[in-house]
Amino acid sequence: MELDESRLRSVGEARTLYRLGNGIEIVRRKKHEPLDSEDLKRDVLERKTDSRSGSKFLSGTPLKQIVEMTAEILLENEARVGSNKFYNKVYPRPIGISRGEKVCAIRVELKGRWAHGYPVDERLL
């Protein structure tokens, strides 16, 4: 999968970043994109990564990697357009922050033909 980071960054909110061969479109959801959390106080970090604001991928995670992880999970689960499902995968290291805590899982949400991935707490799966 050849993805150009600068081209991905030019894609607008809820627009297609990548289309799988089976027609599923991975869309951009900026609310889950990386957050520089190093200088944030605990309560601010919790608020910026709560269910309303959305969990975030770790700082420095390229959009290309988010698309690759999302595509991998969809393909591993043989996801199909219209299946309207959630797919989860747990990694051996943290990939994001949810409710102020580092988390090791990603959830891919597929609605119709549109999919996006975001970090989730692996303990809740």
Residue 38 pLDDT level (bands cut at 50, 70, 90): confident
The whole model's pTM is what?
0.95
User: Which pLDDT belongs to residue 2?
Assistant: 87
Kindly state the average pLDDT of the residues 46-58: 96
Kindly state the average pLDDT of the residues 103-118: 98
Range of the domain at 31: 5-124
DSSP string covering 21-71? TTS-EEE--GGGS-B--TT--HHHHHHHTSTTT--EEBTT--HHHHHHHHH
**CA gap 46, 67 in Å, rounded:** 25
Count structural domains, the chain. 1
72 pLDDT exceeds 90? yes
Planar angle of CA 36, 105, 98, nearest 5 degrees: 45
37 pLDDT exceeds 90? no
